[in-house]
Amino acid sequence: MKHRGKIAFFAGMLTALGAGWAGFPYTLYRSRPQPVDFSHKVHAEKAGSKCDDCHSFRADGSFTGIPTLDKCAGCHAAAMGSTTAEKNFIDNYITPQREPQWAAYARQPENVYFSHITHVNRGKLKCESCHAAHGSTGKLRPYQEDRISGYSRDIWRGKRMSDCVACHEQQGLEHSCLDCHK
Amino acid sequence: MNSTRRDLFIYAGGSAAGALLTPAPWRLITDTALWSENWPGIPSPPRGEIRTKFTNCSVCRAGCAVRARCVGDQPVQLAGVASHPLSHGALCPFGLTAHHLPYHPARLKQGSAEQALAAASAAGGRIAVLDLRPGRTASWTYRRAMAALNGLYVTADQPVAFDLHQAKTVLSLGVPLLDGWGTPGNVWAARPGFRLIQAEAIESRTAALADVWLPIQPGTEEALALAIGNAIQHGKADDERALSLANELTHNGPALVLDNSGSAAAMALNQLLGAAGHTMVARPEAPVPDSWQKAVLATGLAQIEDRSISVLLIDESAVDRYLPWHTIERKLVRDNPVVVTFASSRGGYARHARFALPTAVYPEFAEDIPTAIDSPAATFRISTPLAAPPPGMVNPAEFIATLADLPKSDALRERADAIHQAGRGTVFTPADGKTVAVKSLTAEVFWKSLSEAGCWIDEPGHGRAPQAEPRPYLPPSEPGSGGLPLVALLATPQAPPLISPLMTKLYQESNLRLAPNRVALNPSEARAARLEDGAHAFLETHLGKCGVEVSVDAAVPAGVVLVGTAPGILDVCGAAARAKVVAA
């Protein structure tokens, strides 16, 4: 057959394209649900909570990150509503004093130092600038972990080094290696 | 249709081409690189609460204040404390990376304290302690122990301190004033207030940054000081430069003369210039409990009779200056002396000791730091531990106190109480940046401040003029003597016994500072010896030879070999020694 070679070549190419674009991401990442069915939306709308009510800064300026159980227990020592999610949270975590093993979507690798307080207080950045609409989601999506590197998939979405550099250049700010890689 | 092997190869080729148009290979490259960062064995700080702790760096006796960022209990980043009254927020490269020291691959980890104690107890004859960082509370323990054992307490300390803030003209005789001498932050804070004249054989970093660099022959620093002294006293000198310097020092005072060895000539010159008691004072020390005053006084190594020491205990857990081993060895009895060294690595005296006992390293143990050379007022600071030491580490002070049957006590706390009882001075607390008078604090609160890396500073005005020890001036020997054509100059400042293994840019790669095991030669000397940059060679002196690596540096003048300060090099080579470098 005249085009036999071309057909074989393009068949191989299509297979690889399909596997690379569709199959590879499924294979690369392992998904796991967050331990608690948490709604940022409910906390923002019904309780009127702001981001820094729970994700606060310590007195020395360091960022607390995801709140610990003590913080949650301040409001949820007893049920405040009638949802199953809250009941499960109280039964499984608050009552037995068991810390939920949250997975942080935006956790950076070990070799990266990021100062939240510098960006929030000095840079006047809003949380949404980096975390998009995460603070108004009704449900926590599964955490996706790279099987090879062990890093969260989310750090590739707007939190890469090139994104940091691009933003600093856009704002006309200086930056050097040791700012983040100390 | 039958598929052939050729079809299979074409299919594979198409797959490969297609794969390159997907993210898969590129992500695999990135991910593999990231994965390699987390291989087993690569230290990774544990997850945990991020906290700020404070301590004082004990890598050298500058004792700069340190703010440590800790994840859980592990320090991961060190920085200075900007509001500190002495260190002014500065921290040198050794201090910035000192939290790596506990992981140093050359660290000494094993040694039997019981066997060493038994051997030292059983040996008869004279006992001595060699303290390489005198003025600490541990040093007082050694002195008390030696009083109990009728032994000797040996140091090689420079007995003076200088006040750069009061000086208008500073003549530095080869002192690395702007490159690690004293407390770097304090020196730079005082720098705008004085004119610096650097008399040195090579154009060091301090020479490059000085107002005037005065090139001199290697080893003639003391002769220059004598000539200036003569010019001041008699108004004339053979050397025009000495006359000019005498004029400048006299008319642009207060003036100060600094040298590396504390020579009698430099001390006498300071006396002539009226610096003694003002800008140059006897090294001040924080008060100690009255009960400690029965301790023995320090003895210089030169004052000890040769072949008289049977048991020598060397504390090199904190080192300000190594003494060449050959000067120590001649003081030991010929038959089976017991030498016990307390060290963090095998690179120092452990090579010669019968027992090498491992010690904790900064920032693993609590120890006070003696007053720095650029502090005219006494200070007291504690290097608060930031991490726990590994098991099996030996505390030299406890070992020697046990040997002398001293009662067990918390010596640091006792000394803090003595300072509080004296009621003088102020204490600075880095956590809040406040300075308060000691009088206004209770003993408990004062101790708490010190335990949180506070810094006690004595009131000014307690300094006294130092006593110059009469010592004959020995001019350097003539060039070319004994088949050793080069004059060896010690690179300054001396590197600490352990430096961060990750500080590769400064040492292993760029060699910005002369590494401890290196020598630097002028290109013409290197060519004559057929040596290239990076070559392995032997440094030979009349005391012996040792293996070194060679750097070729045009900044080193002909006729000079600049030598690193590894203990191995110091064993065969003192300042201004005659030497030659031959290919290995």
- Taking only the tens place, the pLDDT of each residue in B367-424 is 999 999 999 999 999 999 999 999 999 999 999 999 999 998 899 999 999 999 999 9
Q: How remote is the C-alpha of A182 from its chain's centroid?
A: 23
For residues B286 and B457, the answer to whether their CB atoms sit within 8 Å is: no
CB spacing of B14 vs A150 below 8 angstroms: no
B107 DSSP assignment = B
Which residues of A fall within a CB distance of 8 Å from B28? 148
Find the Cα–Cα–Cα–Cα dihedral B181, B186, B192, B194, rounded to 10°. -60
Q: Does B51 touch chain A (CB under 8 A)?
A: yes
Q: What ipTM did this prediction achieve? A: 0.79
CA–CA min distance B92, chain A (Å): 15
The residue written with tokens 């590129």 in the block is: B26
Interface residue of B50, B81, B503 to substitute, partner A, most A CBs within 10 Å? B50
Q: Please state, in angstroms and rounded to a whole number, the distance separating the CA atoms of residues B177 and B213.
A: 13
Spatial distance between the Cα atoms of B257 and B387, rounded to a whole number of angstroms = 41
Q: Do B13 and A9 touch (CB under 8 A)?
A: yes
In whole angstroms, give the CA distance from residue A88 to residue B178: 64
Pair B217, B210: CB distance under 8 Å: no
By CA distance, what is A107's nearest residue in B? B47
- Give A12 to chain B, closest Cα distance, Å: 4
Q: What would the DSSP string read from start to end of B529-575?
A: TT--TT-EEEEEETTEEEEEEEEE-TTSPTTEEEE---HHHHHH--T
Please check whether the domain covering B160-282 is classified as CATH 3.90.226.10.
no
DSSP assignment, residue B516? T
Nearest to B15 among A15, A28, A109 (CB): A15
Shortest CA distance to B188 belongs to which of B173, B174, B202, B205?
Answer: B205
Residues of chain B contacting A1 with CB distance shorter than 8 Å: 1
Give the burial class of A133: count Cβ atoms within 10 A of its Cβ; 0-12 exposed, 13-18 middle, 19 or more buried: exposed
pLDDT of A23: 92
* CA distance linking residue B76 with residue B47, whole number of Å: 11
- Which helix (H) or strand (E) covers residue B170, if one does? strand B169-173
> pLDDT at position B401, please?
96
Whether B29 contacts chain A with CB within 8 A? no
d(CA B310, CA A54): 67
Alpha helices (runs of H) in B235-323, residue ranges in sequence order: 240-251, 264-272
**What is the rounded average pLDDT of the residues A10-21?**
94
Q: Is it true that domain B481-583 has CATH number 3.90.550.10?
A: no
Q: How far apart are the first and last CA of chain B?
A: 73
Q: Which residue ranges make up each domain of chain B?
A: 5-37, 50-59+67-99, 113-158+289-457, 160-282, 481-583
Alpha-carbon distance of A60 to B79, in angstroms, equals 15
Per-residue model confidence (pLDDT) at position B291: 92
Q: Which two tokens stand for residue B400?
A: 């020697």
Record: contact A146-B1, CB cut-off 8 A = no
Which of A1, A20, A151 lies at the smallest CB-CB distance from B19? A20
pLDDT tens, position by position, B26-50: 999 988 888 887 777 776 667 777 8
pLDDT of residue A92 exceeding 90, the answer is: yes
CB contact under 8 A, A149 and B45: no
Between the alpha carbon of residue B248 and those of residues A31, B169, B493, the distances in Å are: 77, 8, 27
CA dist A91 and A98 (Å) reads 10
Across the interface, of A12, A17, A24, the residue whose CB is closest to B21 is: A17
Question: Do the chains contact at B22 and A9, CB–CB below 8 Å?
Answer: no
Interface touch B12/A12, C-beta < 8 Å: yes
Give residues 77 to 96 of B whose Cβ lies within 8 Å of A.
Answer: 77
Nearest-neighbour CA in chain A from B349: distance (Å):
35
The 10 Å CB-count burial string (b at 16+, else e) for B494-517 is bbbbbbbbebeebbeeebebbbbb
Ordered mean pLDDT values, 10 residues apiece, chain B (584 residues): 86 94 92 82 73 94 94 90 95 92 91 94 93 94 96 86 95 93 95 96 91 90 90 84 92 92 86 90 92 90 93 94 88 94 92 95 95 94 95 95 93 96 96 95 96 93 61 49 79 80 69 83 92 92 88 88 86 77 88
- Please tell me the predicted confidence (pLDDT) of residue B215: 93
Query: So what's the pLDDT on residue B169?
Result: 96
Q: Quick one: fold of B113-158+289-457?
A: Rossmann fold (3.40.50)
Task: Compute and round to an integer the Cα radius of gyration of chain A.
Answer: 22
Distance from CA of B513 to the nearest CA of A (A): 21
Query: How far apart are the CA of B46 and the nearest CA of chain A, in angstroms?
Result: 10
Q: Which residues of B touch A109 (CB under 8 A)?
A: 34, 37
pLDDT recorded at residue B507: 65
* Residue B506 confidence (pLDDT): 61
Decide: B399 and B357 in contact? Cβ < 8 Å: yes
- For residue B545 the two structure tokens come to 């030879």
Cβ distance A110 to B44 less than 8 Å, yes or no, reads yes
Nearest-by-CA chain A residue for B35? A149
Question: Which pLDDT does position B576 carry in this prediction?
Answer: 62
CB B514 within 8 A of CB B551: yes
Collapsing DSSP states into helix, strand and coil, what is residue B424?
coil
Specify the pLDDT at position B218.
Answer: 83
